[in-house]
Amino acid sequence: MTFRNSRDDSTFYLLKVKERYKDNVETFEKFLHLLVNFREGRICFSEVVKLVKELFKEFPELILGFMDFISNSDN
């Protein structure tokens, strides 16, 4: 039985987003900037969720994965 820790899950999600937007680096960089702004307290949780939903509107699976990602990033 293999267990993945939350850091592995978070890394996997980031790699998934990066791969999805490999032909649109600007969108991936916007996502990273959102994460930095959230982590540094410049935007609140509800705002980062709203902005990620707008950014990833073409890929609902990334939006769904974001909630797990953001909850794992606290650990």
Q: Give the CATH number of the domain where residue 61 resides.
A: 1.20.1160.11
**pTM for the full model?**
0.84
Considering only CA atoms, give the Rg of the chain. Answer: 12
pLDDT of residue 74: 57
- Give domain status of residue 1, yes or no: no
Range of the structural domain that residue 65 is part of: 6-72
pLDDT of residue 5: 54
Domain tally, the chain: 1
pLDDT of residue 73: 67
pLDDT of residue 62: 97
Mean pLDDT by 10 residues, the chain (75 residues): 62 96 98 97 97 97 94 66
Helix (H, G, I), strand (E, B) or coil at 31: helix
> CA 13 to CA 7: how far, in whole Å?
10
- Give domain status of residue 37, yes or no: yes
- Give domain status of residue 21, yes or no: yes
pLDDT of residue 24: 97
